[in-house]
Amino acid sequence: MRFFCITHKSRRSQARLGKITTSHGEILTPAFVPVATKGTLKAIPPKDIREIGIQVAFVNIFHLVDHPGIDVIEKFGGIHTYANLSIPLMSDSGGFQVFSLAEKRASTREGEGIPLVKVTEKGVRFRSPRTGRELLFSPELSIRYQEKIGADIIMAFDECIYYGASHQYTTEATERTHRWLLRCIQTKGSSSTLPPQARDRSGLQQFLYGIVQGGVFKDLRIASAKFVAQQNTPGIAIGGVSVGETKKEMREQVKWVTPFLPEEKPKHLLGIGRIEDILDFVPLGIDTFDCVEPTRLARNGVVFQNKGKQFYRIDLTKAKYLKDKNPIQKDCQCYTCEIFSLSFLHHLFKERELLGYYLATYHNLYFLEQIFKKLRIQIQKGEI
């Protein structure tokens, strides 16, 4: 099985069309990867995933280790069976939690705070934000965990570097990420196969991505890109972006590294989901993007809308929608827009009715999938 192939290259930019092939299906790229952190796309039942057009989703190994536990998922035959998800799945390594939990503290029964993160060469010691119990993640454990849940595409364990870190600390963290990558590759290479109940008939294949770090420093970003590019991994992800830096800095970080990444490997941009960012990064040759934005916004009553080439986010809780008979988007063919008015959606959110979360999330995911479908058509026509 050939993991990735480029089916068309743009003559105007670095944009390309591709196909990622996994044991659970194909992914046409460029593609968006909605985040199913705990094994579920919040508010969306699995039966609706294909109808929306979702090709692939992203689960988070840290949260799955915390609950229900890897052993539970493994006993059910893997995350696809456990969560009834039939599409390809990517899994995060836990590295992002080094950033997201670093400034938080877990409470104890005595009421005193304890740090959630401690980084050493061996790995990272977390405290569960749920229970306060200690969770150890190392490159070896992260790979084993991801293997056991049976994700199709797995990420190397890395340190997601916080914005504002000094050049010295960023150097140390980036080099540590590189050493961890080598340990991940070694662990993956020496791994035994998954138990029979976690394999499909053709045998589950898992593909490891190395992750580029380097913070906001050009020399470190380029050095990291070169190092990761030299390693024998099927794909490459760019990490440590959208962690507090400006839009200009974010774009610079991606522009610095893409010239040094192998053309024949798929490129994933971690944590990016704003439409304006996606439109800028697809021409740089980025193939896949993941982000919680469309689902998180939806649960807060914020939905996507466009007029021509302009994209908007509208707040359904605003009083001006109380008597509005229009759908969110008149030319949108999603279930929400075909059936329901802005007035009714406004009512649902004002009354905190659970149906509102479903309808808004459905629209946002469908809307984003349509954008990517259009991007693939534009690349094919030479418009990007």
What are 189's two structure tokens? Answer: 């290479």
What tokens does 204 get? 């589950």
pLDDT at 32 over 50: yes
Reading the block at residue 246, the tokens are 């400006």
Q: Does residue 68 have a cis bond before it (omega within 30 degrees)?
A: yes
**What is the C-alpha to C-alpha distance for residues 139 and 157, in angstroms, rounded to an integer?**
5
Tell me the per-residue pLDDT of 75-86, one tens digit each, with 9 for 90 and over: 999 999 999 999
- Secondary structure (3-state) at 270: coil
String of DSSP letters for 219-230 = HHHHHHHHHHHH
Answer whether residue 107 shows pLDDT above 50.
Answer: no
Give the long-range contacts of residues 329-332, CB within 8 A, separation 24 or more. Answer: 329/304, 329/305, 329/363, 329/367, 332/363, 332/366, 332/367, 332/370
DSSP count for the chain of H helices, then E strands:
14, 18
Q: Where are the alpha helices (DSSP H) in the chain?
A: 49-52, 61-66, 70-75, 79-83, 96-100, 139-149, 167-189, 218-230, 247-257, 275-281, 293-299, 335-339, 342-350, 354-381
Question: pLDDT-derived band of residue 198, with 50, 70 and 90 as boundaries?
Answer: very low
Give the Cβ contact number of residue 211 at 10 Å: 27
Q: Which residue has the tokens 């929400």?
A: 336
pLDDT band at 101 (very low <50, low <70, confident <90, very high): confident
Locus of tokens 């995933």: 49
Task: Summarize pLDDT for 299-309 with one digit per residue, the tens.
Answer: 999 999 999 88
3-state secondary structure of 112: coil
Q: Tell me how crowded residue 339 is: count the other CB atoms within 10 A of its CB.
A: 10
Whole-angstrom distance, CA of residue 229 vs CA of residue 225: 6
Write the DSSP assignment of 250-263 as a string of letters.
Answer: HHHHHHHHGGGS-T
pLDDT digits (tens, 9 = 90+) for 166-178: 999 999 999 999 9
- The residue-averaged pLDDT of 181-194 equals 80
Least confident of 93-102, 155-164, 196-205, 231-240: 196-205
- Check: CB of residue 17 under 8 Å from CB of residue 10: no
Over 50: is that where the pLDDT of 187 sits?
A: yes
Q: Which of 152, 158, 277, 290 is catalytic?
A: 290
Query: Does residue 220 register a pLDDT over 80?
Result: yes
Does residue 322 surpass a pLDDT of 90?
yes
| End-to-end CA gap in the chain | 30
- Domain residues of the chain, as ranges? 4-95+141-291, 292-384
Higher pLDDT, 102 or 71: 71
pLDDT greater than 60 at residue 112: no
Question: Letter for the amino acid at 318?
Answer: K
Q: What integer pLDDT is reported at residue 214 of this predicted model?
A: 98
For residues 182 and 382, what is the distance between their CA atoms, to the nearest angstrom? 39
What distances in angstroms separate CA 70 from CA 18, 20, 141, one per listed residue?
32, 26, 11
The mean pLDDT value for 192-221 works out to: 76
Q: Which long-range contacts (CB under 8 A, 24 or more apart) does 116-122 make?
A: 119/159, 119/173, 119/176, 121/176, 121/179
231: burial class by Cβ within 10 Å (0-12, 13-18, 19+)?
A: middle
Contact 157, 94 (CB under 8 A): yes
The closest of 18, 9, 2 to 288, measured between CA atoms, is 18
* pLDDT reading at 140 higher than 60: yes
The verdict on pTM exceeding 0.85 is yes
User: Looking at the predicted structure, is the pLDDT value of residue 200 above 60?
Assistant: no
102, pLDDT greater than 60: yes
**Among the ranges given (88-92, 155-159, 190-194, 230-234), the one the predictor scored with the smallest mean pLDDT:** 190-194
Q: Mean pLDDT, to the nearest integer, of 34-55?
A: 97
- Digit-coded pLDDT (tens) for 338-353: 999 999 999 999 999 9
Residues of the chain above pLDDT 70, percent: 93
Write out the two tokens for 236. Answer: 């490459």
**Residue 330 φ/ψ region, left for φ over 0, alpha for ψ in the -120 to 50 degree band, beta for the rest:** alpha
The count of residues in the chain is: 384
Contact 254, 225 (CB under 8 A): no
Lowest-pLDDT range of 98-102, 209-213, 218-222: 98-102
Establish whether 152 is a catalytic residue. Answer: no
pLDDT band at 290 (very low <50, low <70, confident <90, very high): very high
For residue 190, what pLDDT is reported?
A: 77
> Of 54-58, 160-164, 219-223, 246-250, where does mean pLDDT reach its minimum?
160-164
Catalytic residue (one of 92, 152, 277, 287): 92
pLDDT category at 191 given cuts 50, 70, 90 is: low
Residue 184, helix vs strand vs coil: helix
Does the structure show a pLDDT above 90 at 321? Answer: yes
In the residue annotation, 48 being an active-site residue is answered as: no
Whole-number mean pLDDT of the chain?
A: 93
Closest CA to 107 of 128, 132, 134, 125: 132
pLDDT at 115: 55
CATH number of 4-95+141-291: 3.20.20.105
Work out the average pLDDT over 56-67: 96
